[in-house]
Amino acid sequence: MLTIPTSILVEARTFFEDRGALGCEGTAMIAGTDGVATKLVVPEQHANPVPYCSVEVTRQGKSELALALGPDDRYVARIHSHPALAFHSASDDANPAITYPGALSIVVPFFGLGLRQSLDACAVLVRRDRRWLEVPAGPDRNDLVVAR
């Protein structure tokens, strides 16, 4: 069960909207300790709005991610935006950002604007049995992740 402070989601939304204004997706990681998200880490990334939206964390971004964790932190969720609907694409499934059992992946629709609604407007997936399982908004998801 992960609690994400609203401030972290606002920070993510702002970043995604800024990227979206350029026609780009954005990606970030959420670090946490003891079931509470503690910070959003936005690594250096390179986005290509044409011919279709895609985003790639640079080599420097990967080392930023590695260095951003404190001794008691770990990455509890990956969060990224999509231009339109929120779902896990084949490349999202293949992305090795985090893959331990119970890790979360949040996809924000409409270049981040979906987060204005709430986490319920996003896709949330949990890593189980070596695959990503989508958990629809509702009681099951509320057992997994809540925003406060």
Residue 50 CB, shortest distance to Zn ion, in Å, is 17
Stretch of 36-44, 91-99, 111-119, 134-142 contacting Zn ion, by CB under 5 A: 91-99
Cβ atoms of 126 and 143 closer than 8 Å:
no
The amino acid present at 93, given as its one-letter code, is D
Residue from 12, 31, 39, 1 nearest 145 by CA: 1
Residue 17 binds Zn ion (CB under 5 A): no
Comparing CB distances to Zn ion, the nearer of 17 and 92 is: 92
Task: Determine the Cα–Cα distance for residues 70 and 67; give it in Å rounded to an integer.
Answer: 8
Q: C-beta of 71: minimal distance to Zn ion in Å?
A: 31
Q: Which is nearer to Zn ion, 97 or 144 (CB)?
A: 97
Q: Does the footprint of Zn ion cover residue 108 (CB under 5 A)?
A: no
- Report the residue from 9, 19, 30, 92 that binds Zn ion according to the rule CB under 5 A: 92
Asked if residues 45 and 8 have their Cβ atoms less than 8 Å apart, the reply is: no
Containing 43, the helix (H) or strand (E) segment is: none
Q: For Zn ion, which stretch binds (CB under 5 A), given 10-18, 55-63, 87-95, 113-121?
A: 87-95
> At 133, which helix (H) or strand (E)?
strand 131-134
- 24 near Zn ion (CB under 5 A): no
Interface with Zn ion (CB under 5 A), residue total 2
Look at strands 74-81 and 27-33 and give their pairing: antiparallel
Interface with Zn ion (CB under 5 A): 89, 92
